[in-house]
């Protein structure tokens, strides 16, 4: 009897060990699927000045922006996004598509291939339960009205395609500049928002503001009316933009404007030059205090200070600590 009892105990122990081994071999993605950012928060919306989840609780997104997918298409891949999600705490990916620079959407670039890259990026982010920003990345065009017709066609396509998803943001003009007034931007935005809302009634739309998306205080004096789930973008680079710029954001919030930092870096505004971690930490404290979401520029190995990867990094996913630049190491540590 004692012998049989011992055998039964050994069999139970073996079965338990087998279960433990099987659990240990499950893919990380499957284990974490129930707690992905989108699964946890559901469809986001705008309430007052804040981004809130499906339960009405304030949410602060920690995002990473690609560099221009025109230049660096290789970083639009699932392994890269998964590494950012699992190891960096990132819950939002911004897909930056330049409109006029190198191979730009409105300057001779392959539009079908660029749309395909965005669709792939949305697919990977969605499979990983992450939020994703489709960014119409104006820069040298300055005034978004210049390519308004193409923007309307582009966002009509995207809104029809993604109207039933709950993880999409549309950023309709990255950084208006060159003296473009808020009235001009507002007119452009109203037209593009109208076409998006014809198909997609709920996903959040991000509107750029004058002077490289810094004059949110100006936009706050005359916000867009008649639509819900609209936010206004503010961009900063910590080694150039300090407390006076935080005051601009504070003024906008006090006037009731919902602000979203869809791009920032810890270098100078050129994207290069010195790194200022001290000022960057001040910005993080300010953003978290005010429940403002933020997206860091940029996921690439370009030889400049704001790149999150070292120039020597050849990996396009599964990044190691040794692959990260100063900016990358800093941002990975942000909680």
Active-site residues, by number, are 175, 263
The answer to whether residues 208 and 133 touch, using CB atoms and an 8 Å cutoff, is no
User: Which stretches of the chain are DSSP H helices?
Assistant: 2-24, 28-32, 37-41, 78-88, 111-127, 148-162, 182-199, 210-213, 216-220, 243-254, 277-289, 326-333
| C-alpha count within 13 angstroms, C-beta hemisphere, residue 298 | 24
How far is Cα 148 from Cα 191, in angstroms, rounded to an integer? Answer: 9
- Residues in the chain, total: 335
How far is Cα 122 from Cα 202, in angstroms, rounded to an integer? Answer: 17
The answer to whether residues 175 and 101 touch, using CB atoms and an 8 Å cutoff, is no
Place of tokens 């100006």: 218
The answer to whether residues 185 and 208 touch, using CB atoms and an 8 Å cutoff, is yes
Q: Beta-carbon neighbour count of residue 250 at 10 Å? A: 16
Which residue, among 120, 42, 65, has the nearest Cα to 233 in the 3D structure?
Answer: 65
Q: State the first-to-last Cα distance of the chain, in angstroms, to the nearest integer.
A: 58
Query: What is the DSSP code string of 224-240?
Result: --S-SSEEEEEEEETTT
């Amino acid at each position: 009897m004692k012998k049989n009892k011992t055998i039964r105990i050994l069999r139970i122990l073996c079965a338990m060990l087998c279960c433990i081994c099987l659990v240990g071999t499950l893919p990380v993605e499957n284990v974490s699927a129930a707690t992905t950012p989108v699964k946890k928060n559901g469809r986001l919306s705008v309430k007052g000045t804040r981004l809130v989840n499906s339960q009405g609780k304030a949410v602060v997104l920690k995002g990473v922006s690609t560099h221009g997918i025109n230049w660096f298409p290789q970083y639009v891949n699932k392994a890269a996004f998964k590494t950012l999600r699992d190891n960096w705490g990132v819950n939002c990916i911004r897909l930056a598509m330049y409109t006029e620079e190198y191979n730009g959407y409105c300057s001779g670039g392959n539009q079908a291939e660029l749309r395909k890259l965005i669709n792939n990026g949305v697919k990977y982010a969605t499979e990983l339960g992450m939020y994703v920003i489709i960014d119409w990345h104006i820069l040298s065009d300055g005034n978004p009205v210049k390519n308004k017709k193409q923007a309307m066609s582009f966002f009509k396509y995207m809104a029809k395609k993604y109207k039933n998803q709950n993880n999409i943001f549309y950023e309709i003009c990255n950084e208006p500049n060159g003296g473009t007034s808020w009235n001009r931007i507002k007119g452009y935005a109203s037209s593009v928002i109208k076409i998006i809302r014809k198909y997609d009634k709920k996903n959040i739309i991000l509107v750029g503001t004058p002077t490289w998306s810094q004059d949110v205080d100006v936009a706050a004096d005359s916000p867009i009316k008649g639509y819900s789930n609209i936010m206004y973008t503010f961009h900063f680079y910590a080694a150039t933009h300090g407390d006076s710029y935080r005051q601009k954001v504070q003024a906008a919030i006090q006037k009731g404007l919902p602000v979203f930092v869809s791009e920032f870096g810890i270098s100078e505004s050129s994207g290069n030059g010195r790194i200022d971690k001290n000022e960057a930490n001040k910005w993080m404290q300010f953003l978290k205090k005010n429940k403002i979401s933020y997206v860091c520029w940029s996921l690439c190995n370009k030889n400049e200070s704001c790149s999150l990867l070292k120039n020597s990094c050849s990996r396009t996913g599964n990044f190691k600590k040794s692959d990260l630049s100063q900016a990358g190491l800093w941002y990975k540590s942000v909680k």
